[in-house]
Structure 1
């Protein structure tokens, strides 16, 4: 098990509707005032990262969406330590635009911005904004070139690149980012193409929620491939956290979320994402095996089972760390109060368990 403390990130609710496709009450808002306060609460609670979402069209309960890069910068301006990961979609963004935007923000915020390269799964969104839709593995091949171009622009002068999707000739970006060698690059997915990408070019790999066994199988595959490429990649796992004083309370909240799910929106979301998952050659992409209940939380967050008392959740987090997880990407029902509760009740238990296991191993 890693000697480094496991890290924590939260999904930024910069789109309306929260993190579940349900009509349950959610004391969460997508507006900037709510999110500035949330970022400050998360920073104080011990969260190292926040991940802003990228969406261009309404759907699945998210009627309104703030753009990720601008919103990330606003959250960085309201904090002093938190690192914000801006989600960016190749296609709408060219790597030179992303590189220049993020280099500027990195300098303005003393090295606190990162990027999540989203390969894309929603064909309807691409069609709506006039972007060409690529086959599954081609989307990841484009993302790989996008990341290679970002790294080149951020680290080299007179950068030249000849790919199938992007080409650069003697391009020099100045000023370059403050972070060395470059801002951290995150990337998600569960398919073979996603894992191959992570094992060759990404700094971090995000996977959907899953059991400890399912996550371990993915991590083992990525780490083996990364070692063959002489590359290192860290692992982040999605989880929807329901921490309550008793297990019964936590399970009751989960049951209410599912009971009040919006069936039409969940089925519509499921139709799109299952098509995306099944489009991978091995038919094992994100959401390929998700049930209706799983899909009520966008990224299979219930599967990770961080639902229960602070003690139960802390033990499960340390079990995830033991199989190679480096970061928990968390969603909540009522973000501000639940992030504060997590920082007060759960995180100290995680740190105590980590210290105990480290001492035992010494």
Structure 2
């Protein structure tokens, strides 16, 4: 039995229950397209090969507008709490890091149609469900219903330690997050003040306004564990997963059908449906040979110091996301590597869709020129293949 059922908390309508909501519009696309914004130094790749990718807000605003021009559905940023210097290395990987929640709200005034997702660690520091319910409802109104939250619980001991906290064990973190979100939902749905005394959170005569435009804001989560899948099944509209077979696309294509089915079955067990999204890094060029040469050059310039620190941090925590990934593959970044000519990339995205994947959250090495290449050379091929509906005919 869920927290909501045990406590008698109200459940708001979902944004996809409204045919005119931004989420409903996006979900009519056969394959969702998202851009994973490089809000952090080094973006997603730990390589010293020269490029123009930048963590600044102006750069990310231009990227988001560029993605929107090509009909992308989602812009999304990572959240991570790191000590001075980030992961170090020659690139000072993730030394600077814009907050994705604040950045996504700011991007709402610079865009018109793209969904904007902000990541928030709900268990760190003084976060309370009443805070998030109010903040998200406000962002929902600012964006016209395009804003959503990626609810994460963290995995590394060092992050809660920054807030003077100890990391709860894995499944307890999801139980805490479940109660947190259940309270938020009641605040979005409730007609009256809420008094609630749960295992982790308490409220007395609490109320949050304004009410979201489409029932509640968009909710997403990312996980690779059974507890995370169950949380997503109860709460999320979109679920971000990692490759269970590492970054190699051919191995991933074999492993993904069963993995995706676990995620979707967890939602069906709750009487819901979710869309599953994965993060490929795309390296493309006019010819396959050029693309593979570019891919090799990125790896040849691997920032081994940053890669080592990144790998140590992730293997020390209880995250499942990177267990099957090679350290060398971190030079390129992303959960999957899709390399080739535009035709080859479109074909691999089609094969990825056939595994049950509903969307891709794309990363690039040199963002602006590579996003432009993807939009002009690959998006038309996806439209021809029936994977995308034209932005002029959504």
| Alignment: residue pair count | 345
1:310-349 correspondence to structure 2 within 5 Å: 310-349=342-381
1:294–1:300 CA contact under 8 A, matched in 2: no
User: Partner residue of 1:141?
Assistant: 175
Distance 2:161 2:276 in 1: 32
Question: By how many angstroms is 1:4 displaced?
Answer: 4.1
User: Partner residue of 1:207?
Assistant: 241
RMSD between aligned residues:
2.1
Runs of 4+ in 1 over 3 A off after TM superposition: 159-163, 294-299
User: Partner residue of 1:55?
Assistant: 80
User: Partner residue of 1:31?
Assistant: 56
Question: Normalising by structure 1, what TM-score?
Answer: 0.89
- Aligned to 2:254, the other structure's residue is in SS state helix
User: Partner residue of 2:287?
Assistant: 246
Question: By how many angstroms is 1:194 displaced?
Answer: 1.5
- Aligned to 2:234, the other structure's residue is in SS state coil
- Aligned to 2:279, the other structure's residue is in SS state strand
Distance 1:252 1:43 in 2: 29
2:239–2:277 CA contact under 8 A, matched in 1: yes
Distance 1:143 1:294, change over 3 A: farther
Question: By how many angstroms is 1:246 displaced?
Answer: 1.2
User: Partner residue of 1:293?
Assistant: 328
Distance 1:298 1:247, change over 3 A: closer
Distance 1:295 1:334 in 2: 15
Question: By how many angstroms is 1:57 displaced?
Answer: 2.3
Relative to structure 2, which stretch is displaced further, 143-152 or 37-46? Answer: 143-152
Is 1:40 matched up with 2:65?
A: yes
User: Partner residue of 1:98?
Assistant: 132
User: Partner residue of 1:360?
Assistant: none
Question: Normalising by structure 2, what TM-score?
Answer: 0.82
Distance 2:369 2:198 in 1: 47
User: Partner residue of 1:272?
Assistant: 313
Distance 1:140 1:294, change over 3 A: farther
Distance 2:261 2:322 in 1: 20
2:119–2:151 CA contact under 8 A, matched in 1: yes
Is 1:109 matched up with 2:132?
A: no
- Aligned to 1:340, the other structure's residue is in SS state helix
2:44–2:334 CA contact under 8 A, matched in 1: no
Distance 1:123 1:176 in 2: 36
Distance 2:28 2:102 in 1: 35
2:156–2:316 CA contact under 8 A, matched in 1: no
Distance 2:50 2:356 in 1: 35
User: Partner residue of 2:210?
Assistant: 175
Question: By how many angstroms is 1:115 displaced?
Answer: 0.7
1:5–1:351 CA contact under 8 A, matched in 2: no
Distance 1:24 1:355, change over 3 A: closer
1:125-204 correspondence to structure 2 within 5 Å: 125-157=159-191, 158-178=193-213, 180-204=214-238
Question: By how many angstroms is 1:229 displaced?
Answer: 1.8
Could you tell me which runs of 5 or more consecutive residues in structure 1 were left unpaired when the two chains were aligned: 357-362
2:334–2:363 CA contact under 8 A, matched in 1: no
Could you tell me which runs of 5 or more consecutive residues in structure 2 were left unpaired when the two chains were aligned: 1-26, 88-92, 246-251, 389-394
- Aligned to 1:200, the other structure's residue is in SS state helix
Distance 1:352 1:181 in 2: 35
2:242–2:279 CA contact under 8 A, matched in 1: yes
2:268 to 210, 227, 230: 227
Distance 1:301 1:131, change over 3 A: farther
Distance 1:88 1:19, change over 3 A: same
User: Partner residue of 1:70?
Assistant: 102
Question: By how many angstroms is 1:308 displaced?
Answer: 0.9
